[in-house]
Structure formats: C-alpha cells, structure tokens
C-alpha cells in the first residue's frame, strides 16, 4: 500500500510538472513582442482606385526592387493594385497601377499572392474573384515589373462545395504544390497537385486545421525544415495573428499560440507613430521569391494591414486600412532601423 501511495504521489507530481511546463511554453509563445516600424503605403488620392484602403499585401524583393501587390478599395469596389520601388519607404511615392486585366465578370479581384514558379520560369499571381463566390484564380507573367503583362485570369479549380472559400495560398515542396484556403471562416482546407501538373490537377480537399477566421499563409521555416502557418483571428472587429507548425504541408498541424502577433504585443517608437493598434492580413518579408515560400522566423518582419481603434467604425468595406511594417523583437538582438527593411539577395 505504501508503494502504491508513493507511485500515486509521483504520478501527481509529474502531472503537475508537465502542466507547469505546458503553461510555461504557452506563456513564452504568447509573450511575443513586435516593434511597429514605418508606414509604407497609405490609401491613394481622392477618386483613385485605392482611395479608401490598401490591404492584403503580398511582397517580394526581386531585381533590385520591392514588388507589392495589394487589395485596393475605392468608394465603390475592390480591385488589385501593384506598386514597386527600390526601398519599402519609396513605395508611397511610386506610381500605382490597377491590374484591370485580372478582374472577373463582377469586376472583383482581391487578396493576391505572388511568387516565381521556377519549374515554368513564370511569375504567378493567385487571387480570388466573385464570379463563383470567391473563386480561386491565377494569372501569369514573365516580367513582374510590367503591370500590363499579366495574362487573362483563369480558375485554379471549380468550387465543389457551397460553403464560402476565401484567401487562397500556394506553397510547394520538392514534389508537390499545396493550395490552402479557409472554408466558412473556420476550417483550413488543403489540396495538392504535382509540380508537373501545376496549376491544374488538384486533388480532394482535406481539412487540416480549424477555429480560425481567415488569411491563412503557410511558409517553410528557414533552418528547421518545418512549416509555419500564420492565421488570422477576429473578435469584435479586432484582428490578430496565430501560429501553427507542422513537419509537412498536409500536417499534422499543431496550434502553437493564438497570440503570435496581437495589438497588445505592439511596441511603438516616436518616429513611427501609432498608425495601427492591431495586426491584420499581411505577408512576411521572405528569404526568397520562389514557390517554396521560405522565411526566417527569427527577427522576421511583416508587411501588414493596420488600423487604429478610433478608425475602426462604420462599414467594413470603407475602413481606412494602410500598410506598414512590424518587426519581431528578439532578445539581445538589434532591431532594423525605421524604413530600412532587410533585403534578401535575389538569386540567380
């Protein structure tokens, strides 16, 4: 009986210790801090195609320039915009281009993702239109710097469920391409096709994650070989990022934290100003620009859409979102100066 009680006490202690470790790990994950850097793109002039808001950025550094594709909102409609400059700080004064050729029949094309697909030596722009209620679409070009060169849009696949699909995202490994999207503002779905068949040949959808809002972006973590999923959460209009990890794009996905980047974790410096009080749909500054979607999670920088609490009023379609940088604060590391984002070297 004494031995039994001794073992029971040991089990209780181990259980408590395991719980303490789990809590400690969660606390560490939820203790991220982010430095709010400069605004890089504000809504355009009155009467322009992006006069109300600039949102949902996708960004690559290629051939000496930053190339940013974004959702543009005028007073009447959503479209997709493009801007480029040698520095992120230079985007605000650079010419802006509306990509009219990728619009659907309902004049809507939004939530872009851009990458270079090396097997075909083409740039791909993935986005959604409303022709079939958030239909996943793509367009291609051989010259990312020419906004008039994008091909007519084509569907990635035909919708096969009635639920809402939104925010389409592609990442590839050595053998296959994976298409992620959010269904019904809850479940994360993934389909795959071979690199040779891309952008066709998508298989059946698998649900690999849930309890999110939208804007799932998946990256390969540099150094570890793991995959990181950044997802957006929403509560009473307030947006934030969560983080999940997996050894493979199809999972199994493990929820690391629902507090990867939140308004409470933002830290400001006087010169940057308090241009956002939340963290919403954005794109990391990647290590490269190809279909592998690699990034360095240590000290990473994100180009996000942001807004202040005071601006968060009225109809969602007319909220004045703008684009700016946030940088992950790591212990004992020097932070990148305002407007001097790290530039990954383009590969030959």
Q: What is the pLDDT, as a whole number, of residue 30?
A: 63
Question: Across residues 180-194, what is the average pLDDT?
Answer: 96
The better pLDDT of the pair 93, 129 is held by 93
CA atoms of 205 and 144, how far apart (whole Å): 31
What confidence tens digit (pLDDT) does each residue in 53-69 have?
999 999 999 999 999 99
pLDDT tier, 11 (very low <50, low <70, confident <90, very high otherwise): very low
CA atoms of 316 and 320, how far apart (whole Å): 9
Residues contacting residue 258 through CB under 8 Å, at least 6 positions apart: 233, 240, 242
Over the chain, what is the mean pLDDT? 88
Q: What is the pLDDT, as a whole number, of residue 197?
A: 98
Task: Find where tokens 């181990």 sit.
Answer: 14
28 in helix, strand or coil?
helix
Architecture of domain 33-328: 5 Propeller (2.115)
CB 49 within 8 A of CB 70: no
For residue 67, the surrounding DSSP H or E stretch is strand 65-73
Planar angle of CA 303, 309, 311, nearest 5 degrees: 85
| pLDDT(16) > 50 | no
Helix, strand and coil in the chain, % to nearest 5: 10, 40, 45
What are the φ/ψ torsions at residue 112 (nearest 5 degrees)?
-80, 155
Question: Across residues 46-51, what is the average pLDDT?
Answer: 97
The better pLDDT of the pair 216, 21 is held by 216
CA atoms of 124 and 78, how far apart (whole Å): 20
pLDDT tier, 104 (very low <50, low <70, confident <90, very high otherwise): confident
List strand residue ranges (DSSP E) for 268-321, in order: 280-284, 294-295, 301-306
What confidence tens digit (pLDDT) does each residue in 316-331 have?
999 999 999 999 998 7
Nearest partner of 302 among 288, 282, 321, 331, judged by Cα: 282
Residues contacting residue 38 through CB under 8 Å, at least 6 positions apart: 88, 89, 271, 272, 324, 325, 338, 339
Answering whether pTM is above 0.95, one says: no
Question: Across residues 212-235, what is the average pLDDT?
Answer: 95
Question: Across residues 45-58, what is the average pLDDT?
Answer: 97
| pLDDT(335) > 70 | no
Question: Across residues 97-104, what is the average pLDDT?
Answer: 92
Strands 34-41 and 266-267: parallel
CB 42 within 8 A of CB 92: yes
């Amino acid at each position: 009986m004494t031995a039994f009680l001794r073992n029971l006490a040991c089990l209780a202690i181990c259980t408590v210790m395991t719980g303490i470790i789990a809590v400690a790990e969660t606390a560490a994950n939820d203790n991220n801090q982010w430095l709010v850097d400069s605004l890089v793109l504000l809504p355009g002039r009155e009467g322009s195609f992006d006069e109300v808001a600039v949102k949902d950025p996708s960004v690559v550094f290629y051939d000496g320039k930053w190339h940013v594709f974004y959702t543009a909102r005028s007073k009447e409609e959503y479209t997709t915009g493009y801007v480029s400059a040698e520095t992120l700080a230079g985007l605000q004064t650079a010419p802006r281009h509306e990509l009219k050729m990728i619009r659907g029949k309902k004049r809507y094309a939004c939530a872009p993702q851009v990458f270079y697909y090396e097997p075909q030596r083409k740039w791909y722009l993935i986005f959604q239109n409303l022709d079939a209620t958030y239909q996943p679409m793509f367009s291609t070009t051989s010259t990312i710097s020419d906004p008039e060169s994008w091909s007519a849009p084509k569907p990635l696949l035909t919708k096969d469920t009635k639920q809402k699909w939104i925010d389409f995202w592609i990442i590839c490994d050595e053998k296959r391409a994976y298409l992620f999207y959010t269904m019904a503002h809850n479940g994360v779905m993934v389909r795959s096709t071979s690199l040779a068949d891309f952008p066709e040949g998508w298989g059946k959808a698998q649900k690999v994650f849930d309890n999110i809002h939208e804007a799932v972006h998946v990256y390969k973590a540099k150094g570890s070989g793991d995959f990181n999923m950044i997802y957006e959460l929403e509560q009473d209009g307030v947006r934030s990022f969560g983080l999940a990890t997996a050894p493979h794009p199809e999972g199994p996905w493990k929820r690391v934290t629902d507090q990867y980047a939140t308004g409470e974790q933002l830290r400001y410096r006087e010169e940057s100003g308090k241009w956002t009080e939340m963290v919403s749909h954005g794109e990391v500054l990647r290590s490269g620009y190809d279909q592998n979607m690699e990034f360095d999670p240590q000290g990473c920088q994100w180009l996000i859409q942001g807004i202040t609490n005071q601006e968060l009023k009225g109809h969602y379609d007319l909220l004045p979102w703008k684009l700016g940088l946030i940088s992950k604060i790591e212990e004992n590391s020097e932070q990148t100066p305002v407007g001097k984002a790290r530039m990954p070297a383009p590969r030959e």
